[in-house]
């Protein structure tokens, strides 16, 4: 029976070519998420302006976050294929420009172009999987997608180090050129969709209002306490503009014929819960990956290779769990699978905090692996549950909401965890003092554990029952367009 399923889902099936194309596009984002961090010293060494290098990550994250809801709505309007191809093209253009950047400012601007491409590629890959495969088939497909992240977690940092040491950091971006070309060609050749052609009224005002509001608030969260103090004119202006625009957004959407974001979706308990879970996942990810390397390097002078390996344990645990999560939720249901994963993440987070005062790369790596394994049973099943509850014409928006929520969680996590660390370091003897960095890091790890517990509590709101329970079925009155 399993071999038959493999033949209908795997590379030899009718959809095998599309699956390979989706794995390629996922690989673009996965490798980019891990390859740049190891090359930052080389980039700064050539371009200078060390104080601006955090924007290499912030600008990319911001562009990706604000574009996801808009791409997702367009995908439900004109189809997935043109949107994901636009994303691949923008990612290709951004990669070429980044490889040719002449100073740090130009590199940051070109990272925005890359981020706009990632904002289409990431949610569209997941949406297309939801279109092509049933809930049961996605249990197996998730293993293929997870393997991409597992490989990227090893290949990305290795390539970053090799290019920086033996060639040039510019190859970190230029290596994307053949990957983008192959991915685009594979999608053009293999992926075909049927979309109902009808006139649409694009919600330009809603898109602009949402973009302004999200940009201002995420900018405030990313840069507050870093580029400027929390209580300062730039911070207050960004927060004020964001709140004003987002407060206006529901009023604009009520008047729109085809709103860019159907706020009624968030009124559904399943989608609301999946969104809140995704916020927690984003905060946990950014907390571990951002603060563990600093903790090990400053506390015990661990070399970057060792601290990077400790964090890589999380990115290895995640796909390992995600690859078998399908078998678990098909047998026990979405809720029990997510709850089990959340409990595992809590255990790993508490262990990380408990060992905080005794820095050890082995203990940290083990804790990170447990956290990652737990998140593998949380992220994918909660996303698939949300996708299963809607039909084609809303699946893109729902996927976009969940993906966007993870980015928001990361932005909020950076702000909260960073504020904790900065305040304790400022009150101590500085970031290079052993006792100060250990104390600050431990309290950050405690905050990460609290976040894991809150994610567990939110997960309890998922509906009970098997994957085919009425609570997880598409709502009536929503005809599919394909």
Length of the chain: 482
* Nearby residues of 242 by Cβ (< 8 Å), 6 or more positions away: 212, 213, 214, 215, 216, 217, 218, 219, 220
> In angstroms, rounded to a whole number, what is the distance separating the alpha carbons of residues 345 and 307?
20
- Hey, what are 56's tokens? 């290499």
Q: Is the dihedral of CA 283, 284, 289, 292 positive or negative?
A: positive
Residue 166 in this model has a pLDDT that exceeds 60: yes
Between 12 and 181, residue with greater pLDDT: 181
**pLDDT tens per residue, range 414-470:** 778 887 887 888 788 777 788 888 998 899 999 999 999 999 999 999 999 888 888
Residue 410 in this model has a pLDDT that exceeds 90: no
- Hey, what are 234's tokens? 């730039």
| 18-22, 417-421, 473-477: segment of lowest average pLDDT | 473-477
Residue 356 in this model has a pLDDT that exceeds 60: yes
List, as one string, the DSSP characters of 280-332. HHHHHHHHHHHHHHHHHHHHH---HHHHHHHHHHHHHHHHHHHHHHHHHHHHH
For residues 295, 278, 117 and 106, what is the CA-based torsion angle, rounded to 10 degrees? -30
- Looking up tokens 């009624």 gives 264
> In angstroms, rounded to a whole number, what is the distance separating the alpha carbons of residues 27 and 42?
24
| Residue 431 · residue 239 · CB < 8 Å | no
Superfamily name and number for 1-197: MFS general substrate transporter like domains (1.20.1250.20)
> In angstroms, rounded to a whole number, what is the distance separating the alpha carbons of residues 385 and 144?
19
The 8-class DSSP code of residue 51 comes to: G
| Residue 131 · residue 80 · CB < 8 Å | yes
CATH class of 266-474: mainly alpha
The helix or strand, by DSSP H or E, that contains position 209, with its residue range, turns out to be helix 204-223
**Burial class of 19 by CB neighbour count within 10 A (0 to 12, 13 to 18, 19+):** buried
Residue 263 in this model has a pLDDT that exceeds 90: no
In this prediction, residue 353 carries a pLDDT of 94
The rounded mean pLDDT for the chain is 83
pLDDT band (50, 70, 90) for residue 477: very low
Between CA 224 and CA 231, with CA 226 as vertex, the angle to 5 degrees is 40
| Residue 349 · residue 371 · CB < 8 Å | yes
pLDDT band (50, 70, 90) for residue 200: low
Q: What does pTM read for this prediction?
A: 0.81
3-state helix, strand, coil in the chain (%, to 5): 80, 0, 20
Q: How far is CA 332 from CA 129, 328, 407, 409, in A?
A: 22, 6, 29, 28
251 C-beta neighbours (distance < 10 Å), count? 10
| Residue 277 · residue 406 · CB < 8 Å | no
Mean pLDDT of the region 53-57 = 73
Residue 339 in this model has a pLDDT that exceeds 90: yes
**pLDDT tens per residue, range 364-373:** 999 999 999 9
- Hey, what are 380's tokens? 């994918």
**pLDDT tens per residue, range 277-325:** 999 998 898 888 778 877 887 788 777 667 777 877 887 888 888 878 8
């Amino acid at each position: 029976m399993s071999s038959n399923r493999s033949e209908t889902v795997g590379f030899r099936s009718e959809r095998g070519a599309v699956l390979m194309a989706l794995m390629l596009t996922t690989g673009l984002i996965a490798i980019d998420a891990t390859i740049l961090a190891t090359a930052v010293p080389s980039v700064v060494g050539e371009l200078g302006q060390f104080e601006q290098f955090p924007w290499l990550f912030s600008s990319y994250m911001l562009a990706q976050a604000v574009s996801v809801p808009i791409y997702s709505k367009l995908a439900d309007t004109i189809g997935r294929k043109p949107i994901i191809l636009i994303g691949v093209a923008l990612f290709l253009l951004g990669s070429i420009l980044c490889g040719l950047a002449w100073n740090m400012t130009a590199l940051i601007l070109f990272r925005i172009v890359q981020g706009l491409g990632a904002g289409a590629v990431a949610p569209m890959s997941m949406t297309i999987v939801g279109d092509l495969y049933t809930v049961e088939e996605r249990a197996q497909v998730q293993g293929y997608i997870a393997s991409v992240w597992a490989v990227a977690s090893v290949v990305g940092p290795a390539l970053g180090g090799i290019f920086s040491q033996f060639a040039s950091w510019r190859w970190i971006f230029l290596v994307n050129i053949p990957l983008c070309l192959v991915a685009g060609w594979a999608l053009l050749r293999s992926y075909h969709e049927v979309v109902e052609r009808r006139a649409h009224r694009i919600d330009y005002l809603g898109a602009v209002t949402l973009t302004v509001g999200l940009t201002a608030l995420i900018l405030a969260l990313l840069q507050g306490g870093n580029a400027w103090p929390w209580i300062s004119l730039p911070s207050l202006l960004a927060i004020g503009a964001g709140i004003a625009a987002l407060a206006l957004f529901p009023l604009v959407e009520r008047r729109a014929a085809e709103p860019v974001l159907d706020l009624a979706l968030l009124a559904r308990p399943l989608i609301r819960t999946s969104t809140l879970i995704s916020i927690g996942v984003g905060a946990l990810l950014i907390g571990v990956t951002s603060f563990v390397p600093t903790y090990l390097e400053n506390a015990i002078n661990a070399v970057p290779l060792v601290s990077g390996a400790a964090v890589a344990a999380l990115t290895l645990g995640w796909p390992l769990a995600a690859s078998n999560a399908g078998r678990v939720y098909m047998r026990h249901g979405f809720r029990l699978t997510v709850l089990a994963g959340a409990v595992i993440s809590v255990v790993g987070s508490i262990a990380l905090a408990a060992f905080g005062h005794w820095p050890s790369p082995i203990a940290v790596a083990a804790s990170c692996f447990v956290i990652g394994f737990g998140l593998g049973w949380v992220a994918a099943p909660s996303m698939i549950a949300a996708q299963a509850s809607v039909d084609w014409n809303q699946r893109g928006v729902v996927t976009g909401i969940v993906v966007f929520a993870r980015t928001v969680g990361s932005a909020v996590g950076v702000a909260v965890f960073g504020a904790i660390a900065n305040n304790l370091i400022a009150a101590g003897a500085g970031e290079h003092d052993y006792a100060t960095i250990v104390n600050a890091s431990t309290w950050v790890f405690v905050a990460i554990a609290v976040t894991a517990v809150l994610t567990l509590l939110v997960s309890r709101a998922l509906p009970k029952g098997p994957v085919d329970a009425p609570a997880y079925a598409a709502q009536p009155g929503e005809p599919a367009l394909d």
